[in-house]
Every structure is written in structure tokens, then in C-alpha cells.
């Protein structure tokens, strides 16, 4: 299976560990991720807040690249997913809107035709690879590990654009395939607070704290994310919360691709481990050697 890989801005700039894990894990399942040349920001909520037409045009331009490659697009970041998925659906459904956008894209010699679909890594793993193949690839299962998953708002909502309730549970199933236990917590469907970073840091931190409290209340031992914003927010805010509220949650955060990578017997390098603010130590037991 071949996909056009849309990395987005944040992962290459701040979370190369995520990139590395994905590059190591996907080929093992026969998924080829082809680089997209000349992409741009997908236009997530911050840019959408500024201007509607700019959002449509930037997202559509990225979709054109996938169309030119003749491949469906896969994203990792939930915000990229939301933006590209929404615009793709809107333009496919409204020819007038599509024409308006194409007028702008003509400036750069591009034309959106509506020929590709947008997927996210979770769906590719669940639908294309399948739970059984993932289970087969697991050599060092995370047996007994209690995971609180963070599917994230833009993977799952609005439900009429996404698959409905499915996405909340799909990530949990994938995590269970690595041998870990997933636990339900009251605020599983809630926001991490990330979008308010740089706008109102205190509120962002308080929203994250509500999630952490909810996770801790049910005995979670770690958090698994798929979105780089969720990762940064839930990881970094724990330090802030420790300083401000004097509360410690000690919930290491890692991406599903990293969890899967370790479950498959690979090990994270030191530099990758260091990029996790909340120490990963409890998760690394028995996983310091490749095997």
C-alpha cells in the first residue's frame, strides 16, 4: 500500500522522534510512505481563524499534490487531518466552492479535482494492516501496562465528518494489540487544551490538568497519543502543573508509533527518550536492548 505522506509542520520541526518511529514501523507492514514535495502548512484552526478563503486554498493546494502523485494522503497530525479532510469533503460536495478555490489555485498553476482521499495513520493501521497483523508483529508485548489513550478532538470530531464513535475505540484496539491494557476514563473524549497554547497558556494548562486528573483517577500508567499537539500539551503541561499546582501525575506520554515500535522489539534511542519531558523509565524496563 502506497500513500502520499503529509508530515505537517510540527512533527518535522519539534518531534523528529515521531517521524523516525513512523519511518521504522510502517514499512514492516508493507506501507510505503512517499514524500510529498512542496507542501505547505495545512491551515489548521489558527489560520482558519484568520481567513476562510486562505484556509480553503492552502488545504486544497496540498490536496492537489496528492492528486498529482495519484496517491491518497495520509496524515499523522490531527490538525492536518481535520483541515485536509474537511476541505476535501467540502470541495467534493460543492462545485461552486471548488470553482472559487480553483480560481485562486490557478495563480500557482494548480487545479483541485477531488480525486484523492485523506486518511490518518490510525485508520491505515486499523483498516489496511489490521489488528491481527499488528499482533503478529509484536515481539515484546506491553503486558499489564495500563494505557489511557488520547485519540484527540480532530481525529474524532465533528462526528458527521469523521467516522462517528468509531475512532475513539479504534485507537484503543490498536493499543491493545501491543499487549497493553486500555482503560476508559471520563474525559477520554475531551480536548487536551493544546489549541490555546500561545493564546492563553494558563487555560491550556488547566484543560490538560482536567484530563490528567481523570486519567489518574482510574489508575492510568501512561498516555498514548497520535497528535503532536496533544503530545506536547499533555507532556509539557505536567511540568507546569507540578510547578504551579504542586501536583505530580507521572504519566509518561508517547505516540502510538513509538509504543508499537517498542512492542515490535525495537528500542528508542537516547535522544528520542530525552524528547519526552515526563520520564519514560517505567516503560523502558526490559526494552533497552533491541530484540
Q: Which residue has the cell 488547566?
A: 206
Least Å from the CB of residue 52 to another protein: 4
Confirm if 235 and 278 have CB atoms less than 8 A apart.
Answer: yes
Distance (Å) of CA 279 to CA 56, 74, 109:
40, 30, 48
Cell of 260: 508499537
Strand partners, 181: 146
Q: Which is nearer to another protein, 41 or 137 (CB)?
A: 41
CA 192/CA 211 separation, integer angstroms: 7
- Which residue of 32, 54, 111, 274 would you call a contact of another protein, by CB under 8 A? 54
218-257 residues in contact with another protein (CB under 8 A) are: none
Confirm if 249 and 236 have CB atoms less than 8 A apart.
Answer: no
106-125 residues in contact with another protein (CB under 8 A) are: 107-108, 110
Site string for another protein, 150-189 (x = CB under 8 A): ---xx--xxxx----x--------------------x--x
- Which residue of 7, 29, 112, 256 would you call a contact of another protein, by CB under 8 A? 7
CA 97/CA 111 separation, integer angstroms: 13
* Interacting residues with another protein (CB under 8 A): 7-10, 12-14, 16, 19-20, 35, 37-41, 44-54, 57-58, 61, 104-105, 107-108, 110, 153-154, 157-160, 165, 186, 189-191, 193, 195-200, 203, 206-207, 210, 271
Amino acid at each position: 500500500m502506497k500513500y502520499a505522506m503529509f508530515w505537517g509542520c510540527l512533527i518535522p520541526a519539534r518531534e523528529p522522534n515521531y517521524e523516525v518511529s513512523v519511518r521504522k514501523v510502517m514499512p514492516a507492514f508493507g506501507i510505503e510512505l512517499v514524500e510529498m514535495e512542496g507542501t505547505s502548512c495545512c491551515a489548521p484552526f489558527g489560520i482558519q481563524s484568520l481567513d476562510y478563503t486562505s484556509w480553503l486554498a492552502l488545504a486544497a493546494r496540498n490536496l492537489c499534490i496528492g492528486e498529482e502523485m495519484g496517491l491518497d494522503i495520509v496524515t499523522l497530525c490531527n490538525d492536518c487531518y481535520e483541515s485536509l479532510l474537511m476541505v476535501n469533503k467540502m470541495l467534493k460536495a460543492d462545485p461552486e466552492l471548488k470553482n472559487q478555490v480553483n480560481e485562486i489555485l490557478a495563480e500557482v498553476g494548480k487545479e483541485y479535482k477531488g480525486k484523492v482521499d485523506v486518511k490518518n495513520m490510525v485508520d491505515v493501521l486499523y483498516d489496511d494492516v489490521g489488528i491481527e497483523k499488528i499482533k503478529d508483529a509484536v515481539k515484546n508485548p506491553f503486558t499489564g501496562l495500563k494505557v489511557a489513550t488520547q485519540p484527540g478532538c480532530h481525529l474524532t470530531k465533528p462526528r458527521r465528518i469523521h467516522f462517528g464513535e468509531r475512532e475513539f475505540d479504534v485507537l484503543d484496539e490498536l493499543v491493545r494489540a501491543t499487549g497493553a491494557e486500555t482503560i476508559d476514563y471520563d474525559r477520554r473524549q475531551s480536548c487536551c487544551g493544546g489549541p490555546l497554547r500561545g493564546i492563553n497558556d494558563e487555560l491550556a494548562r488547566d484543560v490538560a490538568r482536567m484530563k490528567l486528573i481523570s486519567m489518574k483517577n482510574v489508575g492510568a500508567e501512561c498516555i498514548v497519543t497520535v497528535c503532536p499537539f496533544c503530545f506536547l500539551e499533555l507532556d509539557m503541561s505536567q511540568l507546569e502543573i507540578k510547578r504551579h499546582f504542586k501536583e505530580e501525575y507521572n504519566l509518561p506520554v508517547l505516540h502510538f508509533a513509538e509504543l508499537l515500535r517498542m512492542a515490535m522489539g525495537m528500542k528508542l534511542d537516547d535522544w528520542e527518550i530525552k524528547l519526552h519531558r515526563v520520564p519514560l523509565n517505567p516503560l523502558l524496563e526490559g526494552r533497552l536492548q533491541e530484540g
